[in-house]
Every structure is written in structure tokens, then in C-alpha cells.
Chains A and B, each alone.
Chain A
Amino acid sequence: NTKITQSPRYLILGRANKSLECEQHLGHNAMYWYKQSAEKPPELMFLYNLKQLIRNETVPSRFIPECPDSSKLLLHISAVDPEDSAVYFCASSWTPNSDYTFGSGTRLLVI
């Protein structure tokens, strides 16, 4: 899926700090971070629409989103917890209520 690229693909962390990156090549106005734990549906973490953070679910403060421009999204993680082990997906869409395009995800393992 080259429409949305995510890096890294895999990440193994102790209690280090790290950032996940996402870039979309679709010209979409809205971008999202989702967390998907095993055998669960994706859970919305953050939503940016036209670069403005307009939705922030009850996510631990160790997760900090950043939207440096309309095509890029970052997720800064500090002092991760084992419960943070999951796949983190980036997605984008024209508007928050239109269809979403997902990236391939970053698999985070906290040891």
C-alpha cells in the first residue's frame, strides 16, 4: 500500500522513547491514529482534520500526536507500558465521515 506509508513496520521497545511516522499521498484532509490489539477492532486514538486535532479519546498522556503538515502524522511514545503492545494504524480520508484508507501498520512490542 503506497498510498499511506508507515514507519517503522516493527518496533521493539523497553522503556525508551520513539516516534511512529505516517505519510499519505492522497491529498486527504483528515488523518487518524488507531490502536488495534489482538483479536480486537481498531480503536481511535487521535483524529486530525485540516491539521487541527479535533478528537482525542482517553489515551494515556505518554502518547502525543503531531501533525507537521496536512500529509504527515507522527505519534510520539514515551515510557511505554506492556499494555501498549499492539498494531498502530494510520488512516486518512477526505472528511471524517467519508471512507478511510489505512496504512499497513506498525507492530509495537513492549518488552
Chain B
Amino acid sequence: AQSVTQPDARVTVSEGASLQLRCKYSYFGTPYLFWYVQYPRQGLQLLLKYYPGDPVVQGVNGFEAEFSKSNSSFHLRKASVHWSDWAVYFCAVSMNSGTYQRFGTGTKLQVVP
């Protein structure tokens, strides 16, 4: 069955520093992968999505992610974090067979001066 794991419950970075949030997936078939962000007291918003093709996908607000079949990973990256990036980030996976998305447990990002 498909599943996704976010090993880091909480990540703290300095403003202006680079960021990587980790996501590992397991699946049978061709995965579709997503990153969502949830700001306080709001719903989830799509940051970026991967459908089979270029392994590096660009998202909003300078975020990007890289699909790795060999490592079963879909890590989220940003070159320079801003204080407004303080939020919870969710990784999700579905499959081309049409199954619904499974969400990871989320990573809370804290940005310090």
C-alpha cells in the first residue's frame, strides 16, 4: 500500500538560511507526489506537485522538490528561508491508478532571526 513518512516533526532554521524538509514514500506503481503548506488557522495549500517527468519540480514562493526513485524520496528545498515560511508542511502521495492521497504526519518549520 502507498504511504509517506516525514521523519522530522519539527525543523528550526535561521532566516536567510537554506532549507530541506524530508519526505520518504512507499508505493506500488507510479507515484504522484505533493507538498502542501498549512499556515496557522488556515487550510492546506498546494506548494508543488510531481507527475512522472522532470524529477525536479518548481513550486510557489521559491520552493522546489526533487523526486528520487532510488532513494524513495521527495525532499522539499528552499535556498533562502523567510520568516513568513513559518508553517506546517505536509508531503502526500497518490498513484496513477487513481487512489486518493495519503498524507504524511507533517513537519513544523520554525524560522528564527
In the complex, are the beta carbons of A97 and B94 less than 8 A apart?
yes
What residues of B have a CB within 8 angstroms of the CB of A103 in the complex?
43
Is the pair B49, A99 in contact by a Cβ cutoff of 8 Å? yes
B95 interface residue per 8 A CB criterion: yes
Q: Which residues of A have CB within 8 Å of B104?
A: 41
Chain B interface extent, by class: 20 to 34
Interface string of B40-53 (1 = CB under 8 A from A): 00111110010000
Report the minimal beta-carbon distance from B35 to chain A, rounded to whole angstroms.
10
Closest CB in chain B relative to A92 CB, distance in Å: 11
0/1 per residue, A88-105, Cβ < 8 Å to B? Answer: 010100011111111111
Complex Cα distance, B98 from A95, in Å, reads 7
Does any Cβ of B come within 8 Å of A82's Cβ? no
**Is B100 part of the binding interface, using a Cβ–Cβ cutoff of 8 Å?**
yes
> Cβ of B101: which chain A residues have Cβ within 8 Å of it?
96-97, 100
Complex contact B32–A97 (CB within 8 A): yes
Picked from A40, A41, A96, A105, the residue with its CB within 8 Å of the CB of B100 is: A96
Q: Beta-carbon contacts of A33-44 to B below 8 Å, as 1s and 0s?
A: 000000011101
User: What would 18 A/B residue contacts be, using CB atoms closer than 8 Å?
Assistant: A40-B105, A41-B105, A42-B90, A42-B103, A55-B100, A89-B43, A89-B44, A91-B44, A96-B99, A97-B32, A97-B97, A98-B32, A100-B36, A100-B46, A101-B46, A102-B36, A102-B43, A102-B44
Query: Could you list which residues of chain B lie within 8 angstroms of chain A, going by C-beta atoms?
Result: 32, 34, 36, 42-46, 49, 90, 94-101, 103-106
Interface, chain A (partner B; CB < 8 A):
1, 4, 30, 32, 40-42, 44, 47, 55, 89, 91, 95-105
